[in-house]
Structure 1
């Protein structure tokens, strides 16, 4: 309570002199980064037409177990002749060696660069010829993949995925080409204020914990990653015991079971993961200033969040929407953009991982108005922490969440992504049916308690841009 009062009492209408905190250089930590291997315009159009309502999906979700024991959440839908599969392996970038961040990211970029008896060029030609979309990405806790194809191309699509997972080449020429691309991105990030702010925020929030490392590595770590490092990662992480699968599309259960066994059956049965400790994000308030000579200052702000398993998660999710997650209707958007014109946009989200959670917001503004912008954000954060939302705001937010679920799950691809996320979050298979009731159950007292918990201590803030003196000049 003392910290909450001190934070709110310390806010005034004057500019903050403490913005001249020391700064350090850093780059973006992408919590979810995907690289598309191949996707034709025609396939993209078909994917957009694959519609299924959440109520239909809830009634159709099957817990499928293949003859070989591969489990999947599955919705059979013949609306259009295509199949969307999302899958993940436990591990993610948190399994990178401490001194070699970026291994999981490189693996994701290289799995489709030649495998089995196909070199990189031939592999991609096969994808392009059949309009197959295959992609991989590394998040903090999972190594994620997507596969989308027309129904008639399913055998070839699943076989290409099998080869990518079980016999990647990691040829020297391909490794160095992809490494060069990653390094170019890292160099660009050193002058990108949004990337700098994101990395610094996570560094402050998580310190030396794996969540504080950037997924795509560092300029001094990526050159040291060897093929042996990547093969070791594949052997430890891409295993059946950490596999979760969601499939939506025009395929019958028996056929899908055979495809899953063919694709994943040869993977090692057990992984060898390093234990990752739980961690609470650093306590606010804290502020860091990163000097960068750019016209627009970027502000990233946040603090400890609420884990998905927390019984008060939905209350936090709803009240966060009211403060900063509701687009044009959020408090921050109204105060920062509409009333004062300080920034083009401002938003905030809850991020939850397996071992921690944060809320994180972002905005950009003219360098000489950064102080005013931050003042407004801090005042709104303090106000909702002390007073909570109004009943009207709560009712409108709950109505939005119940209505928007239809749009969030309106294609087979979106539904497959949601079903995979529900599995990762350890939610029940009928969660789609239960979600609106969970939203409805959030009371005004719940929302007020969640607001105080999230924002009562203040913010972790990172400002990237010109110094106040330079901005004034």
Structure 2
């Protein structure tokens, strides 16, 4: 109990800082990582990402990567699920395993005094998971319960419908959790194959922050990851965009229609990404200060919340938005979104909007570095996006360099009102599918 309390106190005692010094570390075995040393407290945060995620599901095994990831902490080596949990808790360590479309994320938190034992336990989960039949059935049941819940969620239905129309048979076009039929049909050998294909050294990214030196981190990396397969499953091909502008209505009995809307987006490494980022913030990404929030919620009260975001994925790029509105008013809200899209595409943003957005984006950025866990997460994300190691130092200057002319040029290039597609899940009045 005292170790758990100490661990919790450490999590809340870490200082906020943005002037991080990042070390580029390569283990003796050739595994690469970024590190921010901080010896103020005896605690380390470790973030690991394996590129590929649920997009690596084999043909006929949709949901295998998701199910496999949920089983990593359900017994490993000589420890069954209960024994593994007891060992982790005795060390006051914390592990999490999270699949997403393009990656498997693994987070570990441990005290310095227990580092060796915590790393050995995590290694078991990654290298030697048991996939015991009873654990497989328990986690399978949890996945099926989640799928049943999703089938009743209008927002989830809207998102999955949009993805299916945009990407068709590509993995991006279906739910990474699988379908009830595919999940029920997954056999243990398919789960083992998903493990071997997804957790491999040729796609791993690592970051650490806290009470550990570069030398110790290098040894830790080889100990933790060195026995994983050298190469994993092939990555998916690029996803072709298959969705034209228009509206799709999915009938669903609910008083509030849920809406997902979007178009093709912009790559993260595109030279115009920063102007596009600023543009999105003005249009729909800035909370209560955005144009869409002002026009749709504040002036007309048509929704409680509306937002947009850039989604540069590994194999496709989107610019997406979301809101919910009553069935009686959702059509009006859609027309306002179209109008704001059109106006931004032709006029860009104002000087006042640009300066306010720059102030917000540059001022809020240091607040992200609020402890070892967030720092490690930021560093591993930077690596996956191909950003340079000095990005935390140069990022705000890149925001400040964006001009009105940049935003207007990118708005004309990026925003395509005629290509904007809306998926509406509900019983919208005066709105119907047009495709």
Q: TM-score range by the shorter chain?
A: over 0.9
Q: 2:381 maps to what in 1?
A: 421
How far apart are residue 460 of structure 1 and its match? 1.4
Where do residues 24-423 of structure 1 align in structure 2 (5 Å cutoff)? 43-55=7-19, 57=20, 60-271=21-232, 273-423=233-383
How far apart are residue 259 of structure 1 and its match? 1.6
- Residues 281 and 358 in structure 1, CA contact (< 8 A), matched pair in contact too: no
Which deviations, in whole Å up to 9, do the C-alpha atoms of 1:249-281 show, x marking residues without a partner?
11122222222111111112222x224222353
* Distance change (3 Å), C-alpha of 1:332 and 1:470: closer
Q: How many residues align?
A: 429
- Residues 36 and 208 in structure 2, CA contact (< 8 A), matched pair in contact too: yes
- TM-score (norm: length of structure 2): 0.95
In 2, Cα distance between the equivalents of 1:427 and 1:389? Answer: 27
Secondary structure of 2:181's aligned partner: coil
* Distance change (3 Å), C-alpha of 1:352 and 1:40: farther
* Distance change (3 Å), C-alpha of 1:376 and 1:469: closer
Secondary structure of 1:348's aligned partner: strand
- Residues 50 and 203 in structure 2, CA contact (< 8 A), matched pair in contact too: yes
Runs of 5+ unmatched residues, structure 1: 1-38
How far apart are residue 433 of structure 1 and its match? 1.1
In 2, Cα distance between the equivalents of 1:468 and 1:88? Answer: 45
- Residues 257 and 425 in structure 2, CA contact (< 8 A), matched pair in contact too: yes
How far apart are residue 457 of structure 1 and its match? 3.5
How far apart are residue 178 of structure 1 and its match? 0.5
In 2, Cα distance between the equivalents of 1:364 and 1:41? Answer: 41
How far apart are residue 73 of structure 1 and its match? 0.3
How far apart are residue 135 of structure 1 and its match? 1.0
How far apart are residue 47 of structure 1 and its match? 1.7
* Distance change (3 Å), C-alpha of 1:372 and 1:310: same
Secondary structure of 2:121's aligned partner: helix
Secondary structure of 1:358's aligned partner: strand
- Residues 249 and 412 in structure 1, CA contact (< 8 A), matched pair in contact too: yes
Secondary structure of 2:108's aligned partner: strand
Runs of 5+ unmatched residues, structure 2: none
- Residues 302 and 461 in structure 1, CA contact (< 8 A), matched pair in contact too: yes
**RMSD of Structure 2 on Structure 1 (CA):** 1.8
* Distance change (3 Å), C-alpha of 1:342 and 1:175: same
Q: 1:440 maps to what in 2?
A: 400
How far apart are residue 42 of structure 1 and its match? 6.1
In 1, Cα distance between the equivalents of 2:286 and 2:4? Answer: 33
Which deviations, in whole Å up to 9, do the C-alpha atoms of 1:362-391 show, x marking residues without a partner?
111112111111111111111111111111
